[in-house]
Structure 1
């Protein structure tokens, strides 16, 4: 079975200094390697195919056979890394906090503080027909979040 750290290293070499970034890697016992990449302006099927070829070139298939899948994280999947939050600025997000409360609103900004402290999200809460949104946005530390997803706003589609 492939070592996940080795896969991370290979992906880092392949991505290099580009604006693409690694979101997640899964390695199964059957040597299925799933790589989820993203980019600040999105990732195309051609980008995924290019990275798949480059990653495969750096892995030794003669040493151990594997199946490699490279894709985007997918719409509706939880946000995993801070760069995804930056990319989601201006979008409607659904946050489930560690205390199981739910926050729904527009992600206005992501503040990265001093090293060793959690980045903070600034969210303008979404109102409802019966209850308008508060005028002041809320501040949520990333460490308080259990899951965060971008919500598709069908009114803007």
Structure 2
């Protein structure tokens, strides 16, 4: 019952702020509410405050005691929503596919069906000795992706 009420409040907040979306939501222990959000343009502290207030100001502490934590998705947290791909265009991703492939490359394109990943590889020359750098590309459907996350390089 309490979880349904909190979920309704979150849904209402995300209808008001369509640039934000829910990544994870759970209630553990003694009504310890944990919410993880993301946004099409990233997440600011003010965005977390907005979601927190949307929940906290509509629950009665006299009726139900609770703790509330609203955070943003971490930089290397695996994607759970297709909207996360668009905001990471141009970044390097690590992709695990359902057929046990592991790919790493730059996210070049995103559409409603899937993504395009690009990377460079060294291959033997077709004629003669030595290697040549070639540009590789993989088109992946969202349904074929098991896990995707941003790779941060320094």
Report the TM-score, using the length of structure 2 for normalisation: 0.82
1:102 alignment partner in structure 2? 102
Structure showing greater radius of gyration is: 2
CA distance in 1, matches of 2:54, 2:48: 10
2:57 alignment partner in structure 1? 57
CA distance in 2, matches of 1:129, 1:52: 52
What's the RMSD between the two structures over aligned residues?
2.4
Contact (CA 8 Å) 1:122, 1:139: kept in 2 or not?
Answer: yes
Q: Does 1:121 align with 2:115?
A: yes
Match runs of 1:7-156 below 5 Å? 7-18=6-17, 19-112=19-112, 119-127=113-121, 134-154=134-154
CA distance in 1, matches of 2:89, 2:78: 15
CA distance in 2, matches of 1:92, 1:16: 31
Contact (CA 8 Å) 1:125, 1:133: kept in 2 or not?
Answer: no
How many residues are treated as equivalent by the alignment? 147
Alpha-carbon displacement from aligned partner over 1:34-58 (angstroms, at most 9, x marks no partner): 1111222211123212321221112
CA distance in 2, matches of 1:60, 1:92: 44
CA distance in 2, matches of 1:45, 1:132: 47
Report the TM-score, using the length of structure 1 for normalisation: 0.80
Name structure 1 gaps, 5 residues minimum. Answer: 113-118
Contact (CA 8 Å) 2:32, 2:66: kept in 1 or not?
Answer: yes
